A and B are shown apart, each in its own frame.
Chain A
Amino acid sequence: MLHDARVPRLSSNRTPAERRQTARQSGRQRGHGPRDRRREPAVFVPIAVTAAVLSAVVLLALTVGRYNVPLWHVVQILAAQLVPFPVEASGTEQNVVLLVRMPRILLALLVGGGLAIGGAALQAIFRNPLVSPEIIGVSAGASFGGALALLLGLGSVLLVTGSFVFGLVALATLVLITSGRGGTPMLMIVLGGVVTGSFFSALVALVTYIADPNTTLPAIVFWLLGSVSTATFTKVLVALIPVLGGAVVLLALRWRINVLSLGDEDAAALGVQPRPLRWVVLVAVSLIVAGAVAVSGVVSWVGLVIPHLARMWVGPDHRVLLPVSFLLGGAYIVLVDTVARTATAGEIPLGVLTALIGAPVFFLLLRRNRDRIWESA
């Protein structure tokens, strides 16, 4: 399926500027030509359907919770945000919908969407279905940064900063490991990611080892388990910049990611320089992952399962796959988090639920689609 006509046809042996020019031209040409697929229903229908699913999930999530807010009041509260509207709902009900549920849902959406689109992009550039954001070591780096901030009792702003900085440090380490003479084989990046990830995992273990078992350790463990229960609009903003920034970069590169997923040689033959492009994608994914880990800890399996689900549905064309992964990932985490906060009077850690659901679902998918899951790999 990867070798279909959807990849952009670019010629090799040109300067990057020329290639961009050609790409723009070819894009325009396709816009008018009979081969154009961006305008085809096949591209927009899945995106529209997933967006509709996401909207439905978000609305559902806004209406359910342990504190009972009648559906009509939720509608009023939301409507009043857009137009002046008399609201019957009490102040507490408004707080619950706007200050408790809303930031939590937005945060879940960003985390789920970000991790899923990151996973989809990584699987493409590594041409490996087992790759997820954890593999490049950025999750571990960001975990360490966050755990360190918790250990030192630095507060939530520095928690986010810490995750972010160390997520990027992990990426820089990866660059350092893999840079040098000649090119960077993909294997080196994966190995570098494993090395970086293990190192930072060890540092996380060290932090939990020296943390006070009475005070800081439970907080670190809870955070590492993954949760969006402490969501605020500040956290949403913090996640918004790196996650959306990275996602926009990935979406802008959707054509080139398509080309890159053919393999380095084919990509080079088609006029795309694989190495710089791969690094751009890696940095974008790192931004996303660092942002997501900073606000929610480690939410596992999303970056692996959702791209697979999406790929089974829409195929490997990243023009569709990337946005669908983002929307689907967002919907998935919003849904799972809604279960996490409503199923019992207590709170179930989100990361535990995603792993509990993710692993068996992935198993079933693999069993049922053994032959179709990655046809060209």
Chain B
Amino acid sequence: MPDADPNAGLNRRTVLQVFVAGGSAAVLAGCGAGPAPGASPSGAPSGAAAGGSISITDQRGKTVTFDKPVTKVVTIPMPAASLLVAVDRSADHLGAMHNASWVAMRDGIMGSMFPAALDLPHDIASQDFIANVESVRALNPDVVIQWSDAQLIEPLEKAGLKVIGLANTGKQEDVDAWVAMFAAMLGKPERATEMKARSDRELAEIKALAAGRTSAGPSILYFNRYTGGLKAAAANTYNDFYIKLVGGTNPATGAHPLPGTGMVGLDIEQVLSWDPEVILLGNFDAAMPQDIYADPVWQGISAVRSRRVYKVPLGGYRWDPPGQESPLMWHWLTDIAFPRPESGLRAKVTDYFRFLYNHEPTGEELDKILWTAANSKSADYQQFNAA
């Protein structure tokens, strides 16, 4: 996963067990006090609705109990802030966030959707996620969201704070788990079900589209980094998952794969020898298609010759890693791999943003999200232009 995460893989087994046993929000939002301990796996029991407390088993396997829905949340893992806003459809219950989340909000569309969030404290943790316990304590939050690492969590718990630990293995399941926990603690478990159902529907649609195709999809290479040394998405990445989901192939996991997992450094010669048909530039550096088009070394690559180099969109959060906007990424990539005269993506983004953030993006915001200016020199990108 591109997100610098100290605990990737730490508690995956626990999480999976929880999910296999109960299915999305059901178990996570299971009631602690009394009612329906054996809640039906398909249901979405709400602890708060049952009049009791809310119990949440986090990705460390620890159960945290709240007497009532939380109203003030401090988030330290980077994607957590925008995800919380999406689950809550408002930034009202966000108390403070990591500086990197704040910078992403300021620079992205989140800041214009929720300007009040930019006034929130964001100097509560170091870049390696070590919380300043006293700063956090002084905010007196109902709960702190932190990565599932004992070293990161213990100081907070010792200060008497309730902590929910998140794990990040770079999979959609993690985001689903985060959504379920956030929805449960906010006293809106139905929101998790709703988000999951919506995401599942989109997934089924994309899968059906891919299955219905007779022609093979293009080979697609995702660059996590371009400037200062190339890094591409190898095995076990979310990027590899969605490239294959839409019907493409990932040369980095093909016949001559990159060694290791995650984002792996590589030499331009390797890219030349794979000769990908589509190149995706991620949002973890400032590289733009123009940088590749202007470089003589890259001219031999099919993706450059046919002008199929694209900057991945950046909405409420980056579309490259898994997140609440991932279904939009699947649709975007489908249209990139199999271009249409006119993509329906703008309408879809508008609809999805209404669903996620209760916000209707303007045409200008849509252009910003989709990088229409940066991608304007790339083939078939006019399909995403405003009508």
Binds A, one of B184-192, B296-304, B352-360: B296-304
Q: Which of A68, A99, A214 contacts B273 (CB 8 A)?
A: A68
A65 contacts across to B, CB distance below 8 A? 267, 269
Listed residue (A153, A214, A229, A344) with the most chain B CB atoms within 10 angstroms of its CB: A214
B2 contacts across to A, CB distance below 8 A? 214
Question: Given the complex of chains A and B, what is the CA–CA distance between A74 and B252 in angstroms?
Answer: 27
Question: Given the complex of chains A and B, what is the CA–CA distance between A123 and B56 in angstroms?
Answer: 63
Chain B residues 90 to 104 lying within 8 A of chain A, measured CB to CB, are: 100, 103-104
Verify if A347 is at the interface (C-beta below 8 Å from B).
yes
Question: Given the complex of chains A and B, what is the CA–CA distance between A348 and B103 in angstroms?
Answer: 31
Binds A, one of B35-43, B253-261, B323-331: B253-261
Verify if A9 is at the interface (C-beta below 8 Å from B).
no
Min Cβ gap B69→A in Å is: 30
For A216, the closest partner residue in chain B by CB is B285
Verify if B230 is at the interface (C-beta below 8 Å from A).
yes
Question: Given the complex of chains A and B, what is the CA–CA distance between A65 and B299 in angstroms?
Answer: 18
Min Cβ gap B287→A in Å is: 11
Q: C-beta contact mask, A192-231 vs B, less than 8 Å → 1, else 0?
A: 0000000000000000111111110111001100010110
B267 close to A214 (CB less than 8 A): no
A347 close to B127 (CB less than 8 A): no
Q: C-beta contact mask, B248-285 vs A, less than 8 Å → 1, else 0?
A: 00001000111110001111111011000000000011
Min Cβ gap A207→B in Å is: 11
Verify if A341 is at the interface (C-beta below 8 Å from B).
yes
B228 close to A345 (CB less than 8 A): no
Question: Given the complex of chains A and B, what is the CA–CA distance between A274 and B259 in angstroms?
Answer: 53
Question: Given the complex of chains A and B, what is the CA–CA distance between A206 and B297 in angstroms?
Answer: 36
Min Cβ gap A45→B in Å is: 36
B264 contacts across to A, CB distance below 8 A? 346-347
A219 close to B267 (CB less than 8 A): no
For A210, the closest partner residue in chain B by CB is B127
Binds B, one of A88-96, A325-333, A368-376: A88-96
Q: Which of B100, B252, B268 contacts A212 (CB 8 A)?
A: B100
Question: Given the complex of chains A and B, what is the CA–CA distance between A92 and B258 in angstroms?
Answer: 22
Min Cβ gap A38→B in Å is: 42
Question: Given the complex of chains A and B, what is the CA–CA distance between A345 and B260 in angstroms?
Answer: 10
B231 contacts across to A, CB distance below 8 A? 218
A→B interface (CB under 8 Å): 65-68, 90-92, 95-96, 99-101, 150, 153, 208-215, 217-219, 222-223, 227, 229-230, 341, 344-349
Minimum-distance CB pairs A-B, first 10: A92-B300, A67-B269, A347-B265, A213-B4, A66-B269, A66-B270, A67-B272, A219-B228, A346-B264, A65-B269
Chosen A-B contacts, 6 in total, with CB atoms closer than 8 Å, are A209-B127, A219-B227, A227-B229, A229-B267, A230-B229, A344-B259
Given contacts A100-B272, A212-B103, 20 further A-B contacts (CB under 8 A): A66-B273, A67-B269, A68-B273, A92-B272, A92-B299, A92-B300, A95-B299, A213-B100, A214-B4, A218-B4, A218-B225, A219-B285, A222-B225, A222-B265, A229-B229, A230-B228, A345-B259, A346-B266, A347-B265, A347-B266
B→A interface (CB under 8 Å): 2-4, 78, 100, 103-104, 126-128, 225, 227-231, 234, 252, 256-260, 264-270, 272-273, 284-286, 296-297, 299-300
